[in-house]
Amino acid sequence: MRTPLVAGNWKMNKTTAEARELVATILAPLGGIAGVEKVLCPPSTSLPVIAPMLTGADIGLGAQNMHWEEKGAFTGELAPSMVKEFCGYVIIGHSERRAYFGETDEHVNKKLRAAMKAGLTPIVCVGETLDEYESGRTGEVVSRQIKLGFASVDSASASRIVIAYEPVWAIGTGKASSGENANGVVRQVIRRALSEVFNENAAQSMRVLYGGSVTGSNAAEFFSQPEIDGALVGGASLKADEFVAIAKAASRP
């Protein structure tokens, strides 16, 4: 049994004052939903502000990115130990990091191994672009992202890793994948690649989320798919009622 997980990726939105306001609104309704792991991933400036608000609330906190080195001359970056001060989770390899900040599968691999070493729960993003989707290369692209991104990770601890399948063409476009299409990619590409990198048991134990234009209205379509264990939510995670509705839809008490 894989516990469902719903994570909100706030991306570059909300000052600390705005973040505090959203968390104050969402705290009781979100924290009260059983049978699903809930995680908020605000900008890093808000992590120390939000962390104390979540004490005892059954809501996890995650960073949107981190560096793989433990310390040093890496201007603008956060080390795993710095993330760990406030967070239990970290998003790795988001398509926006790959597209705008030059992140490669090799970087993803270094970050993933550093997150595992730091005791964080990594949420590793994979997904094909529109061009790759239209030219029928989804399987090849996503499988490569997994094989390179997950290389040399200990299979004994693999079940801690969370994967987010986020087709780039569905992110922020309002054009979500169908539940059936996403389920097919998770079953035929993602779990297959995971079982090659690790083993079948590990592949079946790892949670795979869907991300890309998930809303309170379409969430149930994804969560009714057998291979989809939750969602990584962007835009809709900035609205308290939407995010609560998504978490409710994912709940398996």
The residues binding ligand 13P (CB under 6 A) are 9, 94, 166, 171-172, 211-214, 232-236
C-beta of 214 vs 247, nearer to ligand 13P:
214
Residue 85 among the catalytic residues: no
Nearer to ligand 13P, 121 or 213 (CB): 213
Classify residue 120 by its DSSP letter. Answer: -
Of the pair 56, 174, the CB lying nearest ligand 13P is at: 174
* 9 burial via Cβ count (<10 Å: 0-12, 13-18, 19+): buried
What count of residues does the chain have? 253
Q: What are phi and psi of 132, to 5 degrees?
A: -65, -40
Block residue for tokens 């981190």: 66
Q: Which of 94, 107, 221, 227 is catalytic?
A: 94
Q: H or E segment at 209?
A: strand 207-211
CB of 164 to ligand 13P, least distance (A): 7
DSSP code string of 70-100: SSSS-TT---HHHHHTT-SEEEES-HHHHHH
Residue 129 phi/psi, 5° resolution?
-80, 175
Q: How far is the CB of 220 from ligand 13P (least distance, A)?
A: 16
Provide, rounded to whole angstroms, the least separation between the CB of residue 8 and ligand 13P: 8
- Residue 32 corresponds to which tokens in the numbers above? 């009260």
- Please say whether the beta carbons of 45 and 16 come within 8 A: yes
- Alpha carbon of 110 to those of 46, 58, 161, 250: distances in Å? 25, 29, 14, 31
* Catalytic residue (choose from 166, 221, 227, 242): 166
Cβ closer to ligand 13P: 159 or 215? 215
Residue 73 CB, shortest distance to ligand 13P, in Å, is 29
Q: Least distance in Å: CB of 155 to ligand 13P? A: 26
Contact of 214 with 178, CB cutoff 8 Å: no
Residue among 82 and 170 whose Cβ is closer to ligand 13P: 170
What residues are labeled active site? Answer: 94, 166
